[in-house]
Structure 1
Amino acid sequence: MADYPLIADHGLIGDLQTAALVATDGSVDWFCSPRFDSPSIFGALLDHTRGGHFRMRPTADIVTSKQLYFPDTAILVTRFMTEEGVGEVVDFMPVSASAAPTGRHRLVRILRCVRGQITFAVEIAPRFDYGRENHEAHLSDDGVVFRGPRTSLAVHLVREPGDERLAEGALDEEGDVHARATLTAGMVRGAVLETGATEARAVRAAEVQQLFDETVRFWKSWLRQSTYSGRWRETLHRSAITLKLMTYAPTGGLVAAPTAGLPEQVGGERNWDYRYTWVRDASFSVYSLLGLGFREEAAAFATWLRDRVQDQRADGAAPLQIMYRVDGSSDLSEEILEHWEGYRGSSPVRIGNGAADQLQLDIYGEAIDSVYFADRHGIQAGHPGWLKLVEVLNWLADNWDQPEEGIWETRGGRQDFTYGRLMCWVAFDRGIRLAASLGRPAPVDRWRQERDAVYNQIMEKGWSHERQAFVQHYRTDVLDASLLRMSNVGFVSPTDPMWDSTLRAMDGELVTDSLVYRYDPAASPDGLRGSEGTFSLCTFSYVDALARAGHLDKARVTFEKMLTYANHLGLYSEEIALTGEQIGNFPQAFTHLSLIDAALRLNKILDQATPTLRAQPLSTIPGRQPAMAAATAAGTAGEGAGAAATSRPTAAPGDPPAG
């Protein structure tokens, strides 16, 4: 549908409490305030007629438009080339010095004529509360104020003395503003959108220049904390900035994506709200951010996780939900926006997430492994935090051996998922190691007994002699890309024949031209209709697994190919369709986390590699189709987070992973 730009045709800006997507045509298509998980103000991404937008673009025919980030920042520049001149829209959100939550957020949009003369058409059409709240608009010489029953928004004009005011005719019957601004070379105008404000005021060009300079200093100062100097440095830094943009500063929670409802298949029903903090994703962020040198963010998540565990119920229920709102609250009731058509007709559009109450046992391994990893980097839990960790592991000792929904948040019934059991093994193993290294009191004999029971169960029931591979759950022979983490966490050696056989089986069935599907849903129904693309985080996990197993040439080629699927700004959504189009929520944190981890691992092993190691081949197994056909690539519900790799060297079971 021509009215919808591609998902990948967007850039992300934000202020560490909320974010906006700006398309290459100069339109703000998605913006929620005051938080990531608040109702939308602009939502054209999910309904181009009823969603609302804030568009700035030339009136003349555009020869071409380009987007770039101002180097080492989250400031987005959209450039328009026309026959009359060259113009720019510079978009950013100033970052407050305080991490306290606030209802006031500013989105700065600077119009600049670079060459010749250019006239910009400006359309401001907010739709509060996902388009469910009506508004009134009030014009003044200095801008416009939009007011709804619960929402207010001021747009301050960037103007100089003598500029024309907005004409009364700029306001249409819908309460939207339409205006034009003609600029010659060197002129700067624009607007500053401010949520929660009730009056508009004039803003001088010097003031927005100061905001620009302060925002540049913030991002460059933050990025200077990075200690990474290896291969693909700019790519990793862009992923780090993207992850920072998706972190809610007041709590340290990392949202899975800043968007909701973007489809895993255009026209399909797999449309989920990702604007929440998953325990799994946020746990993996510790590896990635510490691997690059960003200690403050890793410590902030440790605090976030401690607070969630302290909130646990005393009624015997699971001590952790799989996800929370950015403020740590647990109400994520799911509803459908019946009045929105969805991206390119992909309905239903869901807000909230009904998977929040699912039982997913793997989150305990991921959370405790991140605590262990942080501890080895000098970020230690205090006594109250240790007591809560003991409570969590004692609960897990009583509850690990039961069916669950699994990492992919299936809605087709619980199973004994091998990945869930694997991460239970990790939880007990890391708890034992922490107790020993810190000298803390704990029932380690019981934990050791449960750890060994999990190990033996996986080897007995999670291994398929017919497939000669570890499989998705105990009642199937379906392969699952989440298990690419088995060597990463030290459950098997990367040179173990059972692991080599599993890798070869995955290569023959789940991999297509280096891209990796989660699993074959035709053989493992997940309770939903439709198909999906390859999962980008699984592809990066595949790179990590290949590198650890010594298949360096294949790992590097796979990684380099995957880099070609990024959008023009280096951003990734959740999945890649058969056409190479990015689909799913955008940008996705887990994809960028797994990119960083794969690059860290691959860079380190390449530096240490010998010619013999680099030459090891990876063959495929006979008797299976080379890769799943796209038509059978159906997926599952939910958050879609998966098998991200860590930056730790692998250890065999019984040996402590190197930090």
Structure 2
Amino acid sequence: MDGTHVSTGRGFVVNRYPDISDHGLIGDLQTAALVSGDGTVDWWCCPRFDSPSVFAALLDADRGGYFRIAPDTVNCVSRQLYLPDTGMLITRFMTPEGVGEVVDFMPIAGAVATDRHRLVRMMRTVRGTMRFTIDIRPRFDYGRAPHKLDLSSDGAVFAADGLELTVHPVGVAEHDRDLQRDGDDLHMARTLREGQIAGVVLESMGGRPTRLPVAELERLGADTARYWRDWVNASTYRGRWRETVARSAITLKLLTYAPTGAPVAAPTAGLPELTGGERNWDYRYTWIRDGSFSVRALLGLGYVEEAAAFGGWLRDRTVESSGTGSGPLKIMYRVDGSSDLTEETLEHFEGWRGSRPVRIGNDAADQLQLDVYGEALDALHRADSQGQGMAYQGWMSIARIIDWLCEHWDQPEEGIWETRGGRKDFTYGRFQSWVAFDRAIRLAVDRGRPGEIARWATERDNIYRQIMSRAWNPDTASFTQHYGSDVLDAALLLMPQLGFIAPTDPMWLSTLDAIDRELVSDSLVYRYNPAASPDGLRGHEGTFSLCTFWYVDALAEAGRLTEARLVLDKMLTYANPLGLYAEEIGLTGEQLGNFPQAFSHLSLINTAIRLNHRLDHGVTTTVA
């Protein structure tokens, strides 16, 4: 964020609802927080991504709660950056009196699930003098649970049912009574001269408060920076756009729950796809689709351990599959693999800039989306081809799922975009069912595994013939979103990439031309036209960042390399100053939807890897 703010009492005036893009992400691989450009933590759920919120001013400025550190001065300009090659965020404040910084990070929690998490906020003045004001106003359980404040000279404890947050001040106090009660909230202030450091550590289940020395803060920072730099340095990517790819990789890592290896779609809930609209979903869960696509990105960067962790999580879901009405696999789960995602509305929250309803949970979890089987099998095949192996029980579970798909692929479903306008014969679901059979056959034949291979091949071929005869619309000269439709769908951009059709097939090139005309706006791509394909929801939406990256891939595979590179370079200009993307981009370049979005970042990684290879070796080479 770049902007000027005027002081009114405590600190400078802040935006009631900052832009969605005006945030950085920090996390400890089990939970994550958003920090706005004015120094406010306005979103944090604890102890997990999908836990109830502690700070949620992002969704209700009055009832949501926040943790703000800002200068108590006038005419302040703030800017944000990441400490290079880390997940540590720096917010810089520039004033007539001096320049100060707040360094935000969370020490890595590790691969064992824990209720102990630390939000570290280190203040320092780098030029002149700065007086920082600190306000901590938690609102537990999405602002529904009251809390009490236990204040002492050494710190404070916020207590609500089931959760305690301990405030550990860092550095020497100006006087003995530097902690001030504001009802059941807390206010502090620190005046720092050039070179001085202070801070606050907010710890869940942290016990008694303790004043920590600055040296402890610096140690935590050094350890956290070392973790991130070691992790980034393990990447095998050496191509173009290296810094951009590294930032997306760090973001994807920050969105992954380390105890299970499951990535969440985004750390937030309720951020709108249209300001003031109703397309406001909870994305703090693991979609089979998103996680499966992440396997390619992780393997492409050399992160075999992370890809294997998600592969294990995915195989666990196949083993425990119960064959419900939505199929053996649900489309999404909580990060621990549980499937209770009952949707509810937070009626007391006004929503970001009035965007209501604010939903938590996600009823789409019970939809039938046949494409998840293709995405899951493609991910497992990629992992298997990298030598990660598959146990007997895991393979037999997959074989049972493919046997189920033999009986159920030819039926209407809700589709990849989780529309709420009724089931249809979506082409993408059929095409991904073809992928599921194709990859299952390869997994069986290449490794000598048992299975009904002849039956699977028959169904695979039936799907191919059906798509070619029923999904093709001669009037539009393109494959369409669902049978009997003239609506285009950007999801079909994956058809050549996953081997269903040759990228230079005349039918595909004609489809790509139609997408160029109907869904592309100055390089940005809409996923479909809601007006032409009613999806059961009011309003419109922005362009879908994931689809733009898929479009780059399709252009490159069709031999349009110069155009592909230009589209990617244009797309990179739409990132926020930190290199982060939400789900969608609005008409004037604003970020829309939950933020940051794993789908956007994993597809950026995949596209950068593939395009870099093609630019180096030409369009006729095979890209994994």
- The answer, yes or no, to whether TM exceeds 0.5 is yes
Contact 1:403 1:417 in 2 (8 A): yes
**1:424 maps to 2:436:** no
Task: Specify the alignment match of 1:50 in structure 2.
Answer: 63
**1:111 maps to 2:123:** yes
Task: Specify the alignment match of 1:152 in structure 2.
Answer: 164
Matched ranges for 1:579-594 at <5 A: 579-594=588-603
| Partner of residue 366 from structure 1, selected from 372, 375, 379 | 375
SS at match of 1:329: coil
Task: Specify the alignment match of 2:182 in structure 1.
Answer: 172
Query: What letter matches 1:579 in structure 2?
Result: T
CA–CA distance in 1 between the matches of 2:368 and 2:270?
A: 23
Contact 1:10 1:22 in 2 (8 A): yes
Contact 2:274 2:542 in 1 (8 A): yes
Task: Specify the alignment match of 2:88 in structure 1.
Answer: 75
CA–CA distance in 2 between the matches of 1:372 and 1:313?
A: 22
Counterparts in 2 of 1:316 and 1:335: CA distance versus 1, 3 Å: closer
CA–CA distance in 2 between the matches of 1:448 and 1:535?
A: 34
Task: Specify the alignment match of 1:618 in structure 2.
Answer: none
Deviation at 1:164, TM superposition (A): 2.2
Query: What letter matches 1:120 in structure 2?
Result: F
Contact 2:174 2:190 in 1 (8 A): no
Contact 1:157 1:202 in 2 (8 A): yes
Task: Specify the alignment match of 1:479 in structure 2.
Answer: 488
Matched ranges for 1:71-470 at <5 A: 71-96=84-109, 98-160=110-172, 163-167=174-178, 170-173=180-183, 175-313=184-322, 318-470=327-479
Query: What letter matches 2:255 in structure 1?
Result: M
Contact 1:62 1:80 in 2 (8 A): no
Task: Specify the alignment match of 1:622 in structure 2.
Answer: none
Deviation at 1:2, TM superposition (A): 4.1
CA–CA distance in 2 between the matches of 1:347 and 1:156?
A: 36
CA–CA distance in 1 between the matches of 2:176 and 2:67?
A: 19
Counterparts in 2 of 1:409 and 1:166: CA distance versus 1, 3 Å: farther
Q: Kindly provide the CA deviation profile for residues 488-523 of structure 1, in whole angstroms up to 9, marking residues without a partner as x.
A: 011110010001000000000000100000111111
| Partner of residue 42 from structure 2, selected from 29, 46, 56 | 29
Identify which range, 175-184 or 229-238, moves more after superposition: 175-184
Query: What letter matches 1:190 in structure 2?
Result: G
Deviation at 1:62, TM superposition (A): 4.0
Query: What letter matches 2:419 in structure 1?
Result: T
Return 5+ residue gaps in structure 2 as ranges.
1-13
Deviation at 1:315, TM superposition (A): 6.3
Identify which range, 177-186 or 477-486, moves more after superposition: 177-186
Counterparts in 2 of 1:135 and 1:505: CA distance versus 1, 3 Å: same
| Partner of residue 531 from structure 2, selected from 508, 522, 527 | 522
Deviation at 1:150, TM superposition (A): 2.4
Query: What letter matches 1:171 in structure 2?
Result: R
Task: Specify the alignment match of 1:642 in structure 2.
Answer: none
Deviation at 1:317, TM superposition (A): 5.9
- Kindly tell me the number of residue pairs found equivalent between the two proteins: 611
Identify which range, 393-402 or 195-204, moves more after superposition: 195-204
Deviation at 1:171, TM superposition (A): 1.2
SS at match of 1:491: coil
Contact 1:276 1:324 in 2 (8 A): yes
Deviation at 1:165, TM superposition (A): 3.4
Query: What letter matches 2:321 in structure 1?
Result: Q
Deviation at 1:314, TM superposition (A): 5.2
SS at match of 1:31: strand
Deviation at 1:273, TM superposition (A): 0.1
Contact 1:337 1:349 in 2 (8 A): yes
Q: Kindly provide the CA deviation profile for residues 592-618 of structure 1, in whole angstroms up to 9, marking residues without a partner as x.
A: 0111111111111111238xx9xxxxx
Counterparts in 2 of 1:395 and 1:27: CA distance versus 1, 3 Å: same
| Partner of residue 39 from structure 1, selected from 52, 55, 65 | 52
TM norm structure 2: 0.96
* Percent of aligned pairs sharing the same letter: 62
Contact 1:166 1:179 in 2 (8 A): no
SS at match of 2:429: helix
TM norm structure 1: 0.91
Query: What letter matches 1:118 in structure 2?
Result: M
Deviation at 1:222, TM superposition (A): 1.0
Query: What letter matches 2:69 in structure 1?
Result: M
**1:556 maps to 2:565:** yes
Query: What letter matches 1:582 in structure 2?
Result: Q
Deviation at 1:151, TM superposition (A): 2.0
Deviation at 1:375, TM superposition (A): 1.3
SS at match of 1:374: helix
Deviation at 1:198, TM superposition (A): 3.5
Q: Kindly provide the CA deviation profile for residues 604-656 of structure 1, in whole angstroms up to 9, marking residues without a partner as x.
A: 1111238xx9xxxxxxxxxxxxxxxxxxxxxxxxxxxxxxxxxxx76xxxxxx
What stretches of structure 1 move > 2 A for 4+ residues in a row? 162-168, 314-317
CA–CA distance in 2 between the matches of 1:478 and 1:380?
A: 41
**1:19 maps to 2:42:** no
SS at match of 1:486: helix
Counterparts in 2 of 1:66 and 1:296: CA distance versus 1, 3 Å: same
**1:546 maps to 2:555:** yes
Contact 1:274 1:585 in 2 (8 A): yes
Deviation at 1:197, TM superposition (A): 2.5
CA–CA distance in 2 between the matches of 1:591 and 1:564?
A: 14
CA–CA distance in 1 between the matches of 2:84 and 2:62?
A: 34
Query: What letter matches 2:231 in structure 1?
Result: W
Deviation at 1:180, TM superposition (A): 1.3
Contact 1:139 1:166 in 2 (8 A): no
| Cα RMSD after superposing both structures | 1.3
Contact 1:77 1:89 in 2 (8 A): yes
Deviation at 1:179, TM superposition (A): 1.9
**1:10 maps to 2:33:** no
Contact 1:189 1:205 in 2 (8 A): yes
Identify which range, 395-404 or 311-320, moves more after superposition: 311-320
CA–CA distance in 2 between the matches of 1:120 and 1:583?
A: 31
Contact 2:326 2:368 in 1 (8 A): no
SS at match of 1:554: helix
Task: Specify the alignment match of 2:79 in structure 1.
Answer: 66
Contact 1:140 1:166 in 2 (8 A): no
CA–CA distance in 1 between the matches of 2:447 and 2:234?
A: 28
Deviation at 1:475, TM superposition (A): 2.5
Deviation at 1:159, TM superposition (A): 2.0
Query: What letter matches 2:39 in structure 1?
Result: G
